[in-house]
Amino acid sequence: MRIGIVGAGNIGGTLATLFTRSGHEVALANSRDPRTLAGQVAALGPRAHAATAAEAAAFGEVVVLAIPLGAYADLPPEPFAGRIVVDANNYYPARDGRIAELDSGALTSTGLLARHLPDARVTKAFNTIHWEHLRDLGRPDAPAADRRAIPIAGDDAAAKAVLTDLIDQIGFTAVDTGLLVDSWRQQPDTPVYGAEVSADQATVLIAQARR
């Protein structure tokens, strides 16, 4: 599968490694000139290339966003139309500034992204896991019960099925948190956020979330 990754930091870079290792073609972008990624994509091997954010979106059937929330506004919505977008980001007020709709709970952070990308099939995943655990804890050969859970959310069931399969390929197991309006259950300060747990444990932690 062709996967675009916008954001070449810890989460984005780690996903680029895991997806290329699983046989996928990756276009990796950051907020700067793609030439600044030359060394990183060379290390990823022939299945990866550097791109602008718009090029990565146009390239990928799936496009992962691993960039700070404040950088959403700079993304051009057009190339994301029809794409399965995976939002790996979190709202951290200390970094991102206060956003009243998020503070009040009127909107989830991924809901905010979906509003910016109205024609994309927006999902949320990889926002609860520490990047070193993402790098090290995948067990593609292990049965689902022995894998670490990765909570996902989204309104498009077919998009979530594709995402679930990708998560399975890199050795984790996806746990469905629900729709984007439910995705607060996997945002920072909830029980499942950062939890190193199995799918069953994640299921109950997601149910346990309060706001």
Binding residues vs other proteins (CB under 8 A): 144-145, 151, 175-178, 182, 185, 199-200, 202-208, 210
User: CB of residue 169 vs other proteins: minimum separation in angstroms?
Assistant: 20
Comparing CB distances to other proteins, the nearer of 35 and 210 is 210
Comparing CB distances to other proteins, the nearer of 22 and 203 is 203
How many degrees, rounded to 5, is the angle at CA 49 between CA 157 and CA 66?
A: 45
Q: How many CB atoms lie within 10 A of CB 146?
A: 11
Comparing CB distances to other proteins, the nearer of 33 and 165 is 165
d(CA 86, CA 125): 6
User: CB of residue 5 vs other proteins: minimum separation in angstroms?
Assistant: 27
Comparing CB distances to other proteins, the nearer of 94 and 145 is 145
- At residue 153, φ and ψ (nearest 5 deg) are -145, 160
Comparing CB distances to other proteins, the nearer of 87 and 176 is 176
User: CB of residue 203 vs other proteins: minimum separation in angstroms?
Assistant: 4
User: CB of residue 176 vs other proteins: minimum separation in angstroms?
Assistant: 5
User: CB of residue 191 vs other proteins: minimum separation in angstroms?
Assistant: 9
d(CA 44, CA 63): 17
Q: What pairs with residue 92 in β-bridges? A: none
Comparing CB distances to other proteins, the nearer of 41 and 202 is 202
Q: How is 116-143 classified by DSSP, letter by letter?
A: HSTTSEEEE-SSSS-HHHHHH---TTS-
User: CB of residue 157 vs other proteins: minimum separation in angstroms?
Assistant: 11
* Length reported for the chain: 211
> Sheet containing 2-6: which strands, arranged edge to edge?
48-51, 25-29, 2-6, 62-65, 84-87, 121-124, 149-154, 173-178
